[in-house]
Amino acid sequence: MTQADDRVLETLSDSGLILSPRILSANTDYSRHYLSTRLGHLLDAGLVERVDEGLYKITDRGQAYLEGDLEAADLERDE
């Protein structure tokens, strides 16, 4: 997990919206391309869900990670 991953999850959680890498980029200090890559990792870890092509929302698992109920080490063991 990276600082960008945390920012993406926080932004998705705080907004309650379905967002694209472009919108996430406009609201963080990361490029759209980098966020697209990170969203792929978050998707693989089950922390975000692809709602449609290029649109993502946080999952219950992602929310649990933000709330401290799921540790980064647990995510690495699941891979």
Q: Domain spans of the chain?
A: 3-68
Three-state SS annotation for 27-61: CCCCCHHHHHHHHHHHHHCCCEEEEECCEEEECHH
pTM beyond 0.95: no
The half-sphere exposure of 67 on its side-chain side, counting CA atoms within 13 A, is 9
User: What average pLDDT does the segment 8-26 reach?
Assistant: 96
* Fold designation for 3-68: Arc Repressor Mutant, subunit A (1.10.10)
Computed over every residue of the chain, the mean pLDDT equals: 92
Alpha-carbon distance 1 to 51, whole Å? 22
How many helical (H) and strand (E) elements, i.e. helices and strands, does the chain have?
5, 2
